[in-house]
């Protein structure tokens, strides 16, 4: 039984919660939280590092004691310190910290004075009107607690970024239209281009006296004003999305942008660097002896702290700060580097447009090539092609390329990987293609070992080129199937195969972390849209964002190559 990084991180976080409620040294609490962050964000599993005998104290924020606790967790699945804490106070108290408005001090008071041990106890106490009797609590707090418990049922969920964009764009336009408003920028995880967005953080600069806050809470979609001050307000929109707005002066724009873009761990790390240099960094600027020495732009702040500018996509405190200090940041891939798309569908299977329509869309995108990769026969719901129909499509593509006067369309197929690891079409027809995009569409529930073996076996087929949507996950909808990605990547490198970063905003598969792993293992990826219509080709940018978050450069991406170099790379 392997203990996953997330379980180790969860144990540390819970221990931090309980210690905090007990009133332990806040810096000790923070040490556990930092450790949780480090472990959760680490590209390699702690279990593996322990097995290799690696020195865990090399990891940031991990010292001798925490290293020992990680080893214990890996070896026994348990954390004795957490057990002991739970013997002193109920573990369920940590759940109460998730209720907005309740922090460690109040949870401690509720536990000690009202004997609250669970969320049920808490709801009961609130209904009886006991909470308002405690010092520091009032009727507003009591009502809010009850409301929050009842709302807990609807799980908090992060929105896919494409959904967040649909919510953010009209709001940004609305704010931008206010007379006196200068800049409106959506910061936060939205700006870091994360695949999902929890809430929107909007930064506004405006001339003196501009009624930004009043107009903000007056926005048509606002259903609740959570808080409102002179420079900061929080609202909830009809869509359920929470929006924070911060009004900042122009001289502080860069500092505020940096502060509000995060991630939190990145911010803390950068502030510590400032402190080490005798400076202070906050959302208003970088200060030396109370005098602002930078703040107008992010570039200025990074430069003054002795590091290169860090792209928002990299700001997770996953090594980007050290890289920036040593000028070793990657030159991230951009949309304009992409020369073509390697995964698309037509009406021949489950696409919505004709071959010719797709070709013209590819030309409009300025592409050198577009792979037409309709499904193979096994995907019956998608009207997948058998050998005969694929042969017809190959001929149709040849004719169209002739007509266009250049080999724009690549002959391809999204070939199903069957349960035994064989490919869904005979070798002789596969051999006539320029490119085979191979994918799992059935039997998601195999064990990790079996699923891995299945795909490894498929890679043994010399016609296998690119593994499409490698984990099969659908964001917020379907979990990835169990598979050993690292092993697959190593096999791909050994066999001259590749994986896809599926750019569909519902998939974004590989993930950012997996992209990073691919880079470390030397496996190039294809950023492909899996377009089922001409409009689908526009989703490329989501895939590029994901790749950028995974530190990928143009050289790490297959389809930044010219057609001839691409075809040479695909040769096994």
Contacting residues toward DNA, per CB under 7 A: 25, 27-28, 30-32, 35, 57, 60-67, 81, 97, 99-107, 132, 135-142, 144, 201, 227-234, 244, 267-268, 271-272, 274-278, 280-284
Cβ 376 to DNA shortest distance, Å: 47
Cβ 142 to DNA shortest distance, Å: 7
Cβ 3 to DNA shortest distance, Å: 18
Cβ 326 to DNA shortest distance, Å: 13
Rounded to an integer, what distance in angstroms lies between the CA atom of residue 91 and that of residue 13?
12
Rounded to an integer, what distance in angstroms lies between the CA atom of residue 3 and that of residue 154?
29
Cβ 456 to DNA shortest distance, Å: 38
* 67 vs 552, beta carbon nearer DNA: 67
Cβ 71 to DNA shortest distance, Å: 12
With both helix axes pointing from N to C terminus, report the angle between 512-521 and 485-495 in degrees, rounded to the nearest 10: 40
Rounded to an integer, what distance in angstroms lies between the CA atom of residue 530 and that of residue 344?
5
Rounded to an integer, what distance in angstroms lies between the CA atom of residue 181 and that of residue 507?
37
Cβ 229 to DNA shortest distance, Å: 2
SS3 call for 519: helix
Whether the CB-CB separation of 511 and 546 falls below 8 Å is answered with yes
* 64 vs 428, beta carbon nearer DNA: 64
Angle in degrees, CA 36, 42, 43, rounded to 5: 155
* 121 vs 386, beta carbon nearer DNA: 121
State the DSSP code for 530. -
Q: Which two tokens stand for residue 139?
A: 């009727």
Cβ 197 to DNA shortest distance, Å: 12
DSSP string of 35-89, one letter each residue: HHHHHHT-SS-HHHHHHTT--GGGSTT--HHHHHHHHHHHHHS--HHHHHHHHHS
The count of residues in the chain is: 572
Whether the CB-CB separation of 503 and 527 falls below 8 Å is answered with yes
Task: Find, among 497, 503, 534, the residue nearest to 367 by Cα.
Answer: 534
Whether the CB-CB separation of 17 and 27 falls below 8 Å is answered with no
Cβ 282 to DNA shortest distance, Å: 4
The residue behind tokens 């040593």 is 326
- The number of CA neighbours under 13 Å toward the Cβ of 235 is 22
Cβ 403 to DNA shortest distance, Å: 55
* 103 vs 366, beta carbon nearer DNA: 103
SS3 call for 327: coil
* 64 vs 420, beta carbon nearer DNA: 64
Cβ 463 to DNA shortest distance, Å: 49
Task: Find, among 430, 435, 389, 391, the residue nearest to 412 by Cα.
Answer: 435
Count Cβ atoms within 10 A of the Cβ of residue 278 and give its class: 0-12 exposed, 13-18 middle, 19 or more buried. Answer: exposed
Rounded to an integer, what distance in angstroms lies between the CA atom of residue 163 and that of residue 159?
6
Rounded to an integer, what distance in angstroms lies between the CA atom of residue 303 and that of residue 300?
5
Rounded to an integer, what distance in angstroms lies between the CA atom of residue 11 and that of residue 8?
5
Cβ 521 to DNA shortest distance, Å: 27
- Contacts for 508 with CB less than 8 Å, ≥ 6 apart: 195, 475, 501, 502, 542, 543, 546
């Amino acid at each position: 039984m392997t203990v996953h990084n997330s379980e180790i991180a969860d144990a540390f976080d819970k221990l931090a919660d309980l210690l905090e409620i007990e009133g332990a040294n806040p810096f000790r609490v923070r040490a556990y939280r930092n450790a949780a962050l480090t472990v959760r964000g680490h590209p390699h599993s702690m279990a593996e590092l322990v097995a290799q005998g690696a020195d865990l104290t090399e990891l940031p924020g991990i010292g001798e004691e925490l290293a020992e606790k990680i080893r214990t967790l890996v070896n026994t699945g348990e954390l004795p310190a957490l057990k002991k804490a739970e013997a002193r106070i109920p573990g369920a108290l940590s759940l109460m910290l998730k209720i907005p408005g309740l922090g460690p001090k109040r949870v401690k008071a509720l536990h000690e004075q009202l004997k609250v041990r669970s969320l049920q106890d808490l709801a009961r106490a609130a209904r009886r009107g006991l909470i308002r009797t405690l010092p520091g609590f009032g009727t507003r707090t009591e009502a809010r607690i009850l409301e929050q418990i009842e709302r807990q049922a609807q799980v908090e969920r992060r929105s896919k970024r494409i959904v967040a964009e649909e919510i953010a764009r009209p709001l940004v336009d609305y704010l931008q239209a206010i007379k006196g408003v200068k800049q409106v920028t959506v910061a936060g995880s939205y700006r870091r281009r994360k695949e999902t967005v929890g809430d929107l953080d909007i930064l506004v600069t405006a001339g003196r006296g501009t009624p930004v806050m009043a107009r903000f809470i007056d926005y048509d979609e606002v259903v609740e004003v959570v808080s409102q001050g002179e420079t900061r307000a929080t609202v909830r929109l009809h869509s359920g999305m929470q929006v924070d707005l911060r009004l900042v002066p122009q001289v502080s724009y860069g500092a505020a942008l940096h502060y509000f873009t995060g991630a939190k761990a990145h911010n803390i790390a950068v502030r510590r660097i400032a402190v080490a240099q005798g400076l202070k960094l906050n959302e208003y600027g970088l200060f030396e002896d109370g005098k602002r020495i930078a703040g107008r732009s992010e570039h200025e702040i990074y430069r003054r702290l002795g590091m290169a500018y860090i792209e928002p996509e990299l700001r997770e405190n996953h090594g980007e700060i050290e890289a920036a200090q040593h000028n070793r940041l990657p030159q991230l891939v951009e949309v304009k580097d992409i020369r073509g798309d390697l995964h698309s569908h037509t009406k021949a299977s489950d696409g919505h447009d004709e071959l010719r329509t797709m070709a013209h869309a590819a030309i409009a995108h300025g592409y050198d090539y577009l792979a037409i990769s309709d499904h193979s026969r096994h995907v019956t719901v998608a009207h997948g092609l058998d050998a005969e129909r694929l042969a017809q499509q190959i001929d149709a593509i040849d004719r169209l390329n002739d007509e266009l006067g250049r080999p724009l369309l690549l002959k391809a197929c999204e070939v199903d990987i069957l349960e035994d690891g064989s490919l869904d079409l005979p070798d002789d027809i596969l051999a006539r293609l320029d490119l085979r995009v191979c994918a799992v569409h059935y039997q998601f529930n195999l064990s990790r070992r079996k699923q891995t073996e299945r795909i490894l076996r498929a890679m043994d087929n010399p016609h296998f080129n690119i593994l499409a949507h490698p984990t099969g996950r659908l964001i917020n909808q379907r979990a990835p199937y169990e598979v050993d990605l690292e092993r697959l990547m190593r096999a791909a490198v050994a066999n001259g195969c590749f994986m896809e970063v599926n750019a569909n905003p519902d998939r974004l598969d590989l993930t950012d972390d997996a992209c990073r792993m691919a880079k470390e293992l030397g496996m190039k990826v294809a950023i492909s849209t899996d377009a089922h219509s001409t409009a689908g080709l526009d989703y490329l940018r989501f895939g590029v964002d994901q790749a950028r978050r995974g530190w990928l450069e143009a050289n790490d991406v297959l389809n930044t190559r010219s057609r001839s170099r691409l075809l040479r790379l695909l040769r096994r």
